[in-house]
Amino acid sequence: MLKRETQGTVKSKEWMVESLFLLMRKNKFKNISISDIAEKAGIDRRTFYRHFSSKEDILRFKISKLSKDYEKIIRSHKNFESKAVLISFFTVCEKEKESLLCLYKSDLLPRLFKEFEILFEMQYVKNKKIDITNKSVEIKYLLAYYIGGFWNVLNKWLSEGAKKTPDEISTILLKILNE
């Protein structure tokens, strides 16, 4: 039988995630305790442990949500045009910039990388109609190039305080790529 989450369960999880990220605005992740998160969320530790086994679990939960948001936007595109992909990626990033800045400042952004890598590759292969079982060396390197580029631009954007809009970033990158 599938376990369904009640509205109260979902709300409690959201409070804990929000509380962790609010705390991370002022403190490094490693310095935040379960008690800190529970207190900030207005719950007791038992409630915390009913939903998460650790604060790392909250990160996995949030990273999974970020991945699903990106996947939802990227799947809505009929093709894999550079501008649409860039704007989609940075639209999700802009929407979640406070969370991403917290991850960046706590040196936790690499935890998001693997999720992004898998999603990007999956969508690229699907949209370009590439047979995944027979990916050529060229496709593997092309994907590594694209994924690395996106990742480094994300890090650069965050290091500058995430001030540029998705449209500004895509315009800059497309101008560079077309030169």
The tens digit of pLDDT for each residue in 67-90 reads 788 778 777 766 667 777 788 888
Residue ending a domain, among 12, 30, 53, is 53
Same domain, 141 and 76: yes
Same domain, 119 and 81: yes
Same domain, 72 and 154: yes
Give the model confidence (pLDDT) of 16-72 as tens digits. Answer: 999 999 999 999 999 999 999 999 999 999 999 999 999 999 998 998 888 788 778
How many Cα neighbours within 13 Å face the side chain of 52?
Answer: 25
What residues make up the domain containing 71?
62-178
Same domain, 161 and 142: yes
Question: What is the count of structural domains for the chain?
Answer: 2
- Looking at residue 1, its pLDDT comes to 40
Q: pLDDT band at residue 135, thresholds of 50, 70 and 90? A: low
- Looking at residue 71, its pLDDT comes to 77
Task: Find all residues with CB under 8 Å of 16, minimum gap 6, and list them.
Answer: 37, 38, 41, 43, 48, 51, 52, 58
Domain CATH for 28? 1.10.10.60
Same domain, 46 and 120: no
**Mean per-residue pLDDT over the chain, rounded:** 85
Question: 34 — phi, psi (to 5°)?
Answer: -60, -40
Q: How far apart are CA 20 and CA 27, in angstroms?
A: 10
Same domain, 43 and 68: no
- Looking at residue 136, its pLDDT comes to 78
| Entry pTM | 0.80
pLDDT value at 122 more than 50: yes
Same domain, 42 and 66: no
Same domain, 18 and 77: no
